[in-house]
Structure 1
Amino acid sequence: MRKLLMLIFILPFVAFSAVGIPFLKPSLLNLKDDLEDAKRDGKYLFIMFHQEGCPFCDKMRKVTFQDKAVQEYFSKHFYMVEIDIRGANEVVDVDGKKMTERQFAHKYGVRLTPVFMFFDQKGNVVAKVPGYIEPKDFLLIGRYMVEGHYRDTNLVKFIKENKK
């Protein structure tokens, strides 16, 4: 019976990861815990704000997130959690405050989608990037975080200087 219950609980997560986004973290939307998990695993946490019917969100999932280099790099260095900007599910922010997904998006000034919000390992927002992002640019954003450039360089400047 216990094995059956575990299977019932785990199966949806396995099915979701089979969609092809290996760095998507199964989350109960407790970002405080998700940030701790990321720190423990030597990774960074970022949020993908989305909404139903968003064509650029779908394009991110079908193009950028399916890119082999993006999958390898982001699986190694990041956890992603999705937040529906119109959602009513409870979110626990990195500071422990509870609110709905919609309130969380509003708190961070997110009105359109997709928006990608990256946290440092202390829970500070260090980059917020709107819109569809090509794989090569998404990898640059990843490098910006992992290599610590966010500490002393503006993201736009970093991308301009490193774009080939």
Structure 2
Amino acid sequence: MKLIWMTFLGLLFAPVLAAAELGDDGLHKADWMRDTFKDLREDLGDANAEGKRLAVFMEQRGCIYCTKMHEEVFSRAEVSDYIRDNFFVVQLNLHGDTEVIDFDGEVLTEKAAARKWGLLFTPSILFMPEDVPEDKTAQSAAVAMMPGAFGVGTTLDMFTWVNEKRYELDSEEDFQRYHARRIQERQNGSTD
């Protein structure tokens, strides 16, 4: 009984950071998000120079699912620390007018980029490879996309799966199988 109570208290008081503040554009601003010129080729070069993976977050003002992710998932130390240590994050606004330069060289507004890439829902996260051919768009080059709000385990597993380049591995463990295995390992108390 004591172990159950201690586990409950541990979960209740797990390290949680303050939720990201809202910027002037109404989007949540986490300290691990980069303020760039939104030239994706340049951002990819900067990410590579830091030994990190580029992730493009598409969010929008008033998005309840974006708020959920920032308040309940990205505010968790294990998630925010992992993102900060391994990813170069560029945030875009689904309805924004800031110019973005896509990997194929096209200059367009954030909202036009969202349409071009077929992103309809927020949050959506595009995970980029370390090298993108000049004829590719962000959407066509992405090694994975996380469409929507998910819990801590799923989010951390997706970021880990991308960071470890498991999409390249010559095995049958796609993300769904990887995630199922990780869930089982967490339930068994093994996270190695």
Cα gap change, 1:52 to 1:20, in 2 (>3 Å): closer
- The alignment status of 1:36 with 2:56, answered yes or no, reads no
Runs (4 or more) in structure 1 with deviation over 6 Å come to none
State the structure with more CA Rg.
2
- The alignment status of 1:127 with 2:144, answered yes or no, reads yes
How many Å apart are 1:156 and its aligned residue? 2.3
CA distance in 2, matches of 1:112, 1:142: 19
TM-score normalised by the chain length of structure 2: 0.71
Length, aligned pairs only: 148
CA distance in 2, matches of 1:20, 1:91: 18
- The alignment status of 1:161 with 2:181, answered yes or no, reads yes
How many Å apart are 1:94 and its aligned residue? 2.4
Gaps of 5+ in 1: 1-14
How many Å apart are 1:119 and its aligned residue? 0.6
- SS of equivalent to 1:66: coil
Alignment partner, residue 13 of structure 2: none
CA distance in 2, matches of 1:25, 1:150: 25
How many Å apart are 1:20 and its aligned residue? 7.0
Please state which structure has a larger fraction of its residues in helix.
1
How many Å apart are 1:30 and its aligned residue? 1.4
Aligned residues: CA RMSD: 1.9
CA distance in 2, matches of 1:154, 1:106: 27
TM-score normalised by the chain length of structure 1: 0.82
Gaps of 5+ in 2: 1-21, 133-140, 187-192
- The alignment status of 1:87 with 2:96, answered yes or no, reads yes
Alignment partner, residue 113 of structure 2: 104
RCO higher in 1 or 2 (8 Å CA, sep ≥ 6)?
1
